[in-house]
C-alpha cells in the first residue's frame, strides 16, 4: 500500500491542477454572440458544404416553383461565368 506521505503529495498535486483548471475556465470569456461561438467549430469542409446544401434545399422547398427556377438559372449562370 502507498505511504501516507506519497498520497498526501499526490492529492496536493491534484488539488493544484483542479485550481488551475478552474482559473483557466473562469478567465475565458464566453461570447453571447452565437456567431463568435460558431466560427472555427466546423473542421470538415465537405460536411459543412453538405449542410449548407441541405439548408438551401429546405428553404427552396417552400418557395413557389417559378422562384426556384430563377435561383437555379442564376446559379447556373454564375457557374458558367466562373463566379
pLDDT per residue as tens, the chain (83 positions): 679 999 999 999 999 999 999 988 877 666 677 777 777 777 888 888 898 899 999 988 888 777 656 655 556 555 555 55
> What pLDDT, on the 0 to 100 scale, is given for residue 9?
95
d(CA 4, CA 6): 5
Residue 40: left (phi > 0), alpha (psi -120 to 50), or beta? left
Sign of the four-CA dihedral 44, 45, 48, 54 = negative
Could you tell me if 31 and 37 are in contact, meaning their C-beta atoms sit under 8 angstroms apart? Answer: yes
Could you tell me if 44 and 33 are in contact, meaning their C-beta atoms sit under 8 angstroms apart? Answer: no
> What pLDDT, on the 0 to 100 scale, is given for residue 35?
77
> What pLDDT, on the 0 to 100 scale, is given for residue 68?
57
Lookup result for grid cell 428553404: 59
The overall pTM is greater than 0.75: no
Amino acid at each position: 500500500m502507498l505511504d501516507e506521505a506519497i498520497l498526501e503529495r499526490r492529492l496536493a498535486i491534484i488539488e493544484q491542477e483542479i485550481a488551475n483548471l478552474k482559473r483557466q475556465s473562469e478567465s475565458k470569456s464566453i461570447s453571447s454572440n452565437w456567431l463568435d461561438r460558431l466560427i472555427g467549430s466546423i473542421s470538415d469542409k465537405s460536411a459543412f458544404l453538405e449542410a449548407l446544401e441541405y439548408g438551401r434545399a429546405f428553404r427552396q422547398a417552400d418557395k413557389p416553383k417559378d422562384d426556384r427556377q430563377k435561383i437555379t438559372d442564376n446559379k447556373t449562370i454564375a457557374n458558367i461565368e466562373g463566379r
